[in-house]
Amino acid sequence: MATPNEKPVNIFGAKLTRRDLVKAGGALFVGFGVAGAVWKTQVTAASSNNSLDAKLPGSWIEIHPDSTILIRTGKNDFGQSTTFTAYRQIVAEELNTTFEAITTVVVGDTDRTPDGGGVFDLLGGGTPNIRKAAAYTYQALLDLAAERLGVPKSQISVKDGIVSGGGKSMSYGELVKGQHLKLTIPVTGNLTSLMGLTVTGNPPMKPVSQYTIIGKSFKNSVIISKVTAKEQWITDVRLPGMLHGRMVHPKTLGSKLVSVGQIDKTRFPNAQVVVKGNLVGVVAATEWEAIQAVQQVATATKWTDWKGLPGNANLFSYLRKEADWKSAPVAKSDKSKGEMAPALAAGVKKLTATYEMPFMKHAPIGPTMAVADARPDGTVYIHTHNQNPQALRGELALMLGVGIEKVVVRTYPGSGHYGRSNGGNAGAEDEAVLLSQAVGKPVRVQWMRPEDFQWSTQSPAAFSDVEIALDASGKMMAYQVDHYMPAMQDDRPVGAVLAGLPTMPAPDVNAPPDSIGTTANGIQDPWVYDGVPVLMERGHGTFQVGQKASPLAIGMRDHSMRTPGQYQQNFPRELAISEAAALAGADAIQFRIDHAKEDRVIGVLKAVRDESGWETRVSPHAKRVSTGSVPVRGRGVSAMFRSGTYWACVCEISVVPETGAITVEKYTIAVDPGIVVNPLQLKRQVEGGAVMGISHALLEEAKFDESGITSSDWRSYPILKMGDVPAIKVVLLNRPEVGRYGGGSEAANALAAPAIAAALHDATGKIARRLPLRPEYVQALLKV
Partner 1 sequence: MSTIMVNGVRREVQSPPDTPLLYVLRNDLELSSPQFGCGMAQCGSCSVLLDGKEIRSCITPLSAAANKEITTLEGLPARWAKQKGLSVADAATTLHPIQDAWIEEQTPLCGICQSGMMIKATELLERVASPTTAEIKEAFTTSGPSAHLCRCGSYTAIMEAVHRAAGAMAKGR
SS (H, E, C) 566-588: HHHHHHHHHHHHHHHHHHHCCCH
Q: Which is nearer to partner 1, 79 or 394 (CB)?
A: 79
Among residues 363, 397, 669, 697, the one that binds partner 1 under rule CB under 8 A: 363
Closest CA to 493 of 482, 483, 501: 501
Q: Total number of residues binding partner 1 (CB under 8 A)?
A: 56
CB of 448 to partner 1, least distance (A): 6
717-746 mask for partner 1 (x: CB under 8 A)? --xxxxxxx--x------------------
* Angstrom distance (rounded) from CA 437 to CA 433: 6
CA distance 120 to 455: 23
- Measured from the CB atom, is 520 or 649 closer to partner 1? 649
Q: What is the dihedral of CA 85, 91, 95, 96, to 10 degrees?
A: 30
Assess 219 for contact with partner 1 (CB under 8 A). Answer: yes
CB of 248 to partner 1, least distance (A): 16
Q: Where are the alpha helices (DSSP H) in 618-678?
A: none
Dist CA 206 CA 211 (whole Å): 8
Find how far residue 556's CA is from the centre of its chain.
20
Least CB distance from residue 5 to partner 1, whole Å? 10
Taking the C-alpha atoms of residue 773 and residue 591, their distance in angstroms, rounded to an integer, is: 25
Q: Does 618 bind partner 1 (CB under 8 A)?
A: no
Decide if residue 235 touches partner 1 (CB under 8 A): yes
In angstroms, the CA 701 to CA 753 distance is 13
Q: Which one of 130, 601, 691, 759 is in contact with partner 1 (CB under 8 A)? A: 691
Question: 170-181 in b/e burial notation, b at 16+ Cβ within 10 A?
Answer: bbbbbbbbebeb
389 in Cβ contact with 383 (< 8 Å): no
User: How far is it, in rounded angstroms, from Cα 651 to Cα 671?
Assistant: 15
Q: Which stretch binds partner 1 (CB under 8 A): 217-225, 392-400, 500-508, 589-597?
A: 217-225
Nearer to partner 1, 21 or 748 (CB): 748
In the shown chain, the binding pattern of residues 640 to 679 toward partner 1, with x for contact by CB under 8 A and - for none, equals: ----------------------------------------
Residue 233 engages partner 1 in binding (rule: CB under 8 A): yes
Q: Which is nearer to partner 1, 673 or 689 (CB)?
A: 689
CB of 174 or CB of 687, closer to partner 1: 687
- Is 422 a binding residue for partner 1 by CB under 8 A? The answer is no
Task: Rule CB under 8 A: choose which of 377, 629, 715, 737 binds partner 1.
Answer: 715
Torsional sign, CA 673, 678, 681, 684: positive
- Min dist CB 712 to partner 1, Å, is 10
Cα torsion angle, 2, 84, 725, 568, sign: positive
Give whichever of 204 and 714 is closer to partner 1, judged by the CB atom: 714
**Binding segment toward partner 1, per CB under 8 A, in 224-232, 372-380, 549-557, 668-676:** 224-232
- Window contacting partner 1 (CB under 8 A); options: 104-112, 468-476, 616-624, 683-691: 683-691
The torsion angle over the Cα atoms of residues 183, 188, 190 and 193, rounded to 10 degrees, is: -110
**Taking CB under 8 A as the criterion, which residues in 272-331 touch partner 1?**
286-288
Q: Residues 316, 779, 775, 640: is their CA dihedral positive or negative? A: negative
Residue 87 backbone dihedrals phi, psi, to 5 degrees: -65, -40
**Interface residue with partner 1, options 264, 687, 705, 706 (CB under 8 A):** 687
Interface with partner 1, residue 174, by CB under 8 A: no
Contact between 387 and partner 1 by CB under 8 A: the answer reads: no
Q: Kindly report the number of other CB atoms within 10 A of residue 721's CB atom.
A: 11
Query: What is the pattern of x (binds partner 1, CB under 8 A) and - over residues 65-84?
Result: -------------xxxx---
Nearest to 649 by CA among 637, 666, 660: 637
Among 189, 308, 644, 688, which residue interacts with partner 1 (rule: CB under 8 A)? 688
Name the residues that contact partner 1, by CB under 8 A: 78-81, 219-220, 222-224, 226-229, 231, 233, 235-236, 238, 286-288, 363-367, 413-416, 418, 446, 448-449, 680-681, 684-685, 687-692, 695, 713-715, 719-725, 728
